[in-house]
Amino acid sequence: SQTFTITVLPGDGIGPEVIEQAVNVLRVIEELEDVSFTLEYARLGGCAIDEDGTPLPQDTLDKARRSDAVLLGAVGGPKWDNNPAHLRPETGLLGIRKELGLYANLRPAFMLDCMVGVSALKEEVVKGVDLMVIRELTGGLYFGEKKRYETENGEVASDELIYHEYEIERIVRRAFEVARLRSKKLTSVDKANVLESSRLWRKVVERVAPDYPDVELRHQLVDSCAMELIRWPKQFDTIVTENMFGDILSDEASMLTGSIGMLPSASLADGNFGLYEPVHGSAPDIAGKGIANPTATILSAAMMLKYSFGLEKAANAIEQAVHTVLNSGVRTGDIADNKDEAVGTKEMADKIIAAI
């Protein structure tokens, strides 16, 4: 029997609650498949600031490096919002991405038929939407040199959007490979009419494209993409883009579905290693109430089974169970039409477990 070690980072806010349910789902998979999971708990974000004096303790990095994958709840909260940068939860998140080389952020945005009602968009526009935003996660505007200095005329601040050819190449190849397993349509998003980094991006995409002749490639400007995602999202399948553009566009794409409480994400390194987390945040306003939607975290665990452990069958079983439960009308408060009939975190997860 196979054994995988998972570093579990519950994090802050609703993080621990949704993680608990994802772990319950993993326990069920152990019963059904010839596999076992060793869980190593560690801290990231606000809880680590409080306990360890840093958002990314060395112990967390060590555990993550020794494990086969990382499962994260969510980090952040008002308590740490006014801290200096090095004592902020998101600094831990950015740090772990960089330290573990998690350069490929996969963010699916899909619309289940039974959920079209919750979207802000018209049914005919969003029904059947199924797209994947692949965001470069360890370069670009996030990680270039930052400056802050005084001049005679006041302060100046800057950030650098910088890409090396190899950074672009590896994310673009990954995107072509993902697109190949989906409907073979890849849109590369840049701002090549203005940015030098985008011109290099586009050049690398063009150089790499002939290796994937079966994938249909399109270039699109980021402003145009932001529009077209709203006008007719079904024209897109896989989108690949720079870190900052990807931050914006993946959030926009998520919201097309109206149900970000259901969307998972994967952040992959070379090889099989990856960190998996829900797209939603730590939602401090509902933390501890047992009403958070665990679906995104459970689907993140499913992505982990698929991308890091090669357990495609188990991953599909979880996804199917989620669809079945949602189809049957069970809803947590964030996606319920009728808030009175909404179920809690545990009940939602139990239904999913029962359906697996």
Ligand X SMILES: CC(C)[C@H](C(=O)O)[C@@H](O)C(=O)O
Q: Which residues are catalytic?
A: 142, 191, 223, 247, 251
Is position 157 an interface residue for its own copies (rule: CB under 8 A)? Answer: yes
Is position 251 an interface residue for its own copies (rule: CB under 8 A)? Answer: yes
Instruction: Compute CA distances 349 → 25, 66, 85, 306, 317, whole Å.
Output: 8, 29, 36, 20, 14
H or E stretch covering 274: strand 274-278
Which of 37, 103, 110, 142 binds its own copies (CB under 8 A)? It is 142
Number of residues that bind ligand X (CB under 6 A): 7
Is position 206 an interface residue for its own copies (rule: CB under 8 A)? Answer: no
Is position 269 an interface residue for its own copies (rule: CB under 8 A)? Answer: no
Is position 90 an interface residue for ligand X (rule: CB under 6 A)? Answer: yes
Around Cβ 1, how many Cβ atoms within 10 Å?
A: 7
Burial grade of 60 (CB within 10 A; 0-12, 13-18, 19 or more): buried
Shortest spacing between CB 99 and ligand X, in angstroms? 15
Q: Which of residues 147-206 bind ligand X (CB under 6 A)?
A: 193-194
Shortest spacing between CB 200 and its own copies, in angstroms? 4
On whether 209 is known to bind a ligand per the annotation, the reply is no
Q: Report the distance separating Cα 95 and Cα 137, nearest Å.
A: 11
Strand bridging mode 264-268 / 2-11 = unpaired
List CB contacts of 32: < 8 A, sequence separation 6 or more. 314, 317, 356
Report the SS3 class of residue 194: coil
Is position 122 an interface residue for its own copies (rule: CB under 8 A)? Answer: yes
Burial grade of 148 (CB within 10 A; 0-12, 13-18, 19 or more): exposed
Nearer to its own copies, 219 or 346 (CB): 219
Q: Report the distance separating Cα 59 and Cα 335, nearest Å.
A: 37
| Token pair for 88 | 């902020």
Is position 211 an interface residue for its own copies (rule: CB under 8 A)? Answer: no
Could you list the residues known to form a binding site for substrate, using ranges.
97, 107, 135, 223
- Residues contributing to the site for ligand X (CB under 6 A): 90, 93-94, 193-194, 223, 247
Residues that bind its own copies (CB under 8 A): 88, 90, 94, 119-122, 125, 141-142, 144, 146-148, 151, 153-166, 191, 193-197, 199-201, 203, 222-224, 226-232, 244-245, 247-249, 251-252, 254-256, 258, 260
